[in-house]
Amino acid sequence: MKIAVCVSHVPDTATRIKLGKDEKTIDPDGVTYVINPYDEYAIEEALKTKEKIGNDSEVIIISLGTDSSKESIRKALAMGADGGILLKDETERDSFGVAKALADEIKLQGCEIVFCGKQSVDYDNNIIGQLISELLGYSCITVVVDLKIDGSKITAEREIEGGREVVECELPAVITTQKGLNEPRYASLKGIMAAKKKTIEEKPAAEAEHLTELIKMHLPAPKNPGRILGTDSSAVPELVRLLREEAKVL
Amino acid sequence: MANKILAILEQREGLLKRSAFEAVTMAKQLSAELNLEAEVVVVGNEVSNINDIGNYGIDKVIHLKSTELENYSSSGYRDAVADYAKETDADYLLFANTALGKDLAPRLAVALNAGCLIDCVKLDSSSGELIATRPVYAGKALIDVKCNSTKKVITIRPNVFKAEETGSSSSTDVKVIEINSPNLKCKVVDFKKSEGKLDVAEADIIVSGGRGLKGPENFHLIEDLANALGAAVGASRAVVDAGWRPHGEQVGQTGKTVSPSLYVACAISGAIQHLAGMSSAKYIVAINKDKDAPIFNIADYGIAGDVFEILPALTEEIKKVKQE
């Protein structure tokens, strides 16, 4: 069985965002790009699934982006994935455009299980997994923190407000992964060496229509620093008074 | 005939949530601005407060009803809503960006070939077309975005737009459409409730603790204050990664992004990924012994002192005030 993992290459969460000259994207100068944190759980779960169902299965990493995305693919290969595909695209796409190209490739590869991070930490849309599943006619369970695959039956727990939903569906399926699902493994030295020898297949990303258009990116209005009311518990009555009378939140 | 906007409301255990009424108010507002007919769609079995919808200004309610759709089913809810949206040729579908809304909205987008405007914090139609503003990079930046497609799927961030009772029309005209043998390819079979606690994603007040608490055994200071305030407990990434607290409580770029009325950050220095997740709170209180901690740059009120001394006093003061 073929297992796909969709991976995106994003600015590290410690990044301080500066606007780019086009006022539509960020200024990449000085920004460190990393594998999307939620995608690490997706890779780990794919590898665990492969280990469980046996050696005739294969984990394929698919990423849409520029040449720099190869770094994240390479990292996934070092963790133990079998192959990597870069769908090359230099332009900015909307979520639908990204999902369409990924879905086309997943179909071409014949993958029956697809893992994606629940969202990428750049555009925070939280929709790619759902879009891919709908485009392919697969089942889909999002924000998964526990997963069991038994034959073709999937039982997953997904995080919602105030608890977890237990969800059942059948393969083929898309699973979007949340922190807590597993502990992503570190790449071993052997894994890193092996990853250097694996080839990353490169091909142009399939064209897709843009259903949405980004008009402008801007920064939130800076907050004025507030007041330091004191340095010990003698400031507490004043704090409570302000919360009641000024902020009116109590 | 004017085109339609459908507000798709979430019910859980037969009860419409507060965020659902926020979606009704927003749909009502957009319907006036964009000259649309507004309807509300509820999927589920019995919904006890369905007649409250009229109080929020939309009196036409479609109840897509089935005992088998009492709990969420992504396939069943998608098909039921998609069929109705196609039948009425609605151009706009509006959801609250809750766990259910996030899961369901993009599926409808594919079914209707619609663009998605997700997690919107502002919707502006003054130019005649709808421009959405939404946070990216967990709120470190915002983007203005619009749909090129005729059909549009929109989700709004909970707790940002107010649910407003109009006071005038309080009648609700509920039309029930029975859904026979729904598509249950993917369905919820059980719900495991967290131990009686408020969720940070839904709470109006959040008290969060960080590494400065020195150990998980000291988190009772956070819990006591949260209980006194009727607040949810949150945590920084450092304490979640250290295993002191469950990841469901994590606030920040790889946790939850929250917009409560009040956020109390205790012994949290304010790493940029944490600030991104909570800086849109209406009021922020910081308690930290380091007066130069970045958290004070965005806090409305701060006490630059020792949490172990200040938190018990604050909890007592809140209890006293609440009793008055």
SS3 (DSSP) at A185: coil
Is B102 part of the contact surface with chain A (CB cutoff 8 Å)? yes
Mean pLDDT on A147-169:
96
Q: Give the pLDDT confidence of B100-152 residue by residue, as tens digits.
A: 999 999 999 999 999 999 999 999 999 889 999 999 999 999 999 999 999 99
Please tell me the predicted confidence (pLDDT) of residue B128. 87
Please tell me the predicted confidence (pLDDT) of residue B5. 98
Q: How many contacts, defined by CB atoms under 8 Å, are there between A and B?
A: 269
Give A-chain residues touching B78 at CB under 8 angstroms: 134
A55 pLDDT higher than 80: no
Interchain contact, A236 vs B314, CB within 8 Å = yes
Handedness of CA B191, B194, B198, B200 (dihedral sign): negative
d(CA A237, CA A241): 6
Q: Which residues, numbered 112 to 131 in chain B, qualify as contacts with chain A under a Cβ-Cβ cut-off of 8 Å?
A: 113-119, 131
Mean pLDDT on A236-240:
97
Cβ-contact B23, B96 below 8 angstroms:
yes
Give B-chain residues touching A180 at CB under 8 angstroms: 246-248
Q: Give the pLDDT confidence of A122-133 residue by residue, as tens digits.
A: 999 999 999 999
Please tell me the predicted confidence (pLDDT) of residue B197. 76
d(CA A26, CA B133): 16
> Smallest Cα–Cα separation from B259: which of B129, B101, B113, B139?
B139
A170 sits in which H/E element: strand A163-170
Q: Give the pLDDT confidence of B138-195 residue by residue, as tens digits.
A: 999 999 999 999 999 999 999 899 999 987 656 889 999 999 999 999 999 999 998 7
Cβ-contact B33, B89 below 8 angstroms:
no
Please tell me the predicted confidence (pLDDT) of residue A225. 80
The domain segmentation of chain B, as residue ranges, is 4-178, 205-323
A101 sits in which H/E element: helix A95-109
Please tell me the predicted confidence (pLDDT) of residue B196. 63
The separation between the first and the last C-alpha atoms of chain A, rounded to the nearest angstrom, is 56
Q: Give the pLDDT confidence of B49-81 residue by residue, as tens digits.
A: 999 999 999 999 999 999 999 999 999 999 999
Mean pLDDT on A23-44:
97
Interchain contact, B138 vs A13, CB within 8 Å = yes
CA B247 to chain centre: 18
d(CA A174, CA A142): 8
Q: Give the pLDDT confidence of B258-276 residue by residue, as tens digits.
A: 999 999 999 999 999 999 9
- pLDDT tier at B1, thresholds 50, 70, 90: low
Q: Which residues, numbered 30 to 89 in chain B, qualify as contacts with chain A under a Cβ-Cβ cut-off of 8 Å?
A: 71-72, 74-75, 78
d(CA A148, CA A186): 23
The CATH number of the domain covering residues in B4-178: 3.40.50.620
**Is the reported ipTM for this assembly greater than 0.85?**
yes
Give A-chain residues touching B137 at CB under 8 angstroms: 11, 15, 17, 26, 121-122, 124
Write down all domains in chain A, each with its CATH number in brackets.
2-204 (3.40.50.620)
For residue A237, cis peptide bond before it (omega within 30 degrees of 0): no
d(CA B201, CA B198): 9
C-alpha count within 13 angstroms, C-beta hemisphere, residue B109: 35
Q: Which residues, numbered 30 to 89 in chain A, qualify as contacts with chain B under a Cβ-Cβ cut-off of 8 Å?
A: 37-38
Interface test with B, best of A33, A138, A160 (most B CBs within 10 A): A160
Cβ-contact B208, B233 below 8 angstroms:
yes
> Smallest Cα–Cα separation from B163: which of B49, B246, B244?
B49
SS (H, E, C) chain B: CCCEEEEEECEECCEECHHHHHHHHHHHHHHHHCCCEEEEEEEECCCCCHHHHHHHCCCEEEEEECHHHCCCCHHHHHHHHHHHHHHHCCCEEEEECCHHHHHHHHHHHHHHCCEEEEEECEEECCCCCCEEEEEEHHHCEEEEEEECCCCEEEEECCCCCCCCCCCCCCCCEEEEEECCCCCCCCEEEEEEECCCCCCCCCCCEEEEECHHHCCHHHCHHHHHHHHHHCCEEEECHHHHHCCCCCHHHEECCCCECCCCCEEEEECCCCCHHHHHHHCCCCEEEEECCCCCCCHHHHCCEEECCCHHHHHHHHHHHHHHHHHC
Is domain B205-323 in CATH 3.40.50.1220, yes or no? yes
Please tell me the predicted confidence (pLDDT) of residue A36. 97
Please tell me the predicted confidence (pLDDT) of residue B168. 66
Interchain contact, B283 vs A157, CB within 8 Å = no
d(CA A124, CA A106): 22
- Matching fold, domains B4-178 and B205-323: yes
Please tell me the predicted confidence (pLDDT) of residue A54. 84
Cβ-contact B107, B155 below 8 angstroms:
no
Is A237 part of the contact surface with chain B (CB cutoff 8 Å)? yes
